Amino acid sequence: MATVKTSRGRGRKGAPREPLTVERIVEAAIAIADAEGTSALTMRSVAAALGVQAMSLYNHVANKDAILDRMVDAAFARVVVPTDVDWRTAMRARALAIYEVLRAHPWAIGLLESRRTPGATTLTHHDATIGVMRRAGFSAALVAHALAALDAYVYGFAIQEVSLPLQPSEDIPALAQEVLASMPSDALANLAWFAAEHVMQPGYSFSDELEYGLDLVLDGLERAHLAARPARAARSKRGRD
């Protein structure tokens, strides 16, 4: 039988214990949430995954909410906001990084922006994001518009994707053809055309739509940013006069 390590004492064959840490607790919690969702996440389930008693967790985290805060921090740690590029490149990279986190961890979709006690990594991420746009000359109002539009798009896309009645391994074109075959095509001419011309084409993937829509959002923000420049310049001139 393999050596069993716990946070108390030694393993069954005398192996040194692996200390219980906040990092290990968060890793175990993320693994549970990845497999079963946050509804399965409890102090007891995390303790069981680590091979310890639930009470021992309280020496490192206050409660389940504290674990959730740490999980959000761990997620935002994977979202790098470039600070040495133009705002559009930085915001595009951020959006795609958030999407990859949401795709890998669907539990994060409803969690990343929900914390009342966000951790340092979460706050640093948002500060860096705002800083990129502020340095580019965005007003506070336009920063708010940009973050709302970008995050609504990325989170909304992730929700839509995870809600699709499809498995990643499924042949989507074949499935679309099967669905259409069961319906009267003459009554659904537009749907049949769209499916044949796009969805049923080889290599189709819904996730490929992400970047097209993201660029539309960024195009709109760029127009708003450029349009605001003359107004800012005029206000600045009036202030000097």
**Domain-wise residue ranges, the chain:** 1-61, 74-163+209-233, 170-202
Angle at 239 (CA atoms; ends 233, 241), nearest 5 degrees: 105
Other C-beta atoms lying within 10 Å of the C-beta of residue 43? 19
Chain Cα centroid distance, residue 47: 26
Per-residue confidence of the chain (241 residues) as pLDDT tens digits? 233 344 444 444 545 568 999 999 999 999 999 999 999 999 999 999 999 999 999 999 999 999 999 999 999 999 999 999 999 999 999 999 999 999 999 999 989 999 999 999 999 999 999 999 999 999 999 999 999 999 999 999 999 998 887 665 567 777 777 777 777 767 788 888 888 898 888 888 889 999 999 999 999 999 999 998 766 655 555 555 5
- If one looks up domain 74-163+209-233 in CATH, what number appears? 1.10.357.10
1-61 and 74-163+209-233 agree in CATH topology: no
Q: Considering only CA atoms, which of 195, 211, 89, 238 is closest in space to residue 157?
A: 211
User: What's the confidence (pLDDT) of residue 142?
Assistant: 97
User: What's the confidence (pLDDT) of residue 1?
Assistant: 29
Superfamily of domain 1-61: Homeodomain-like (1.10.10.60)
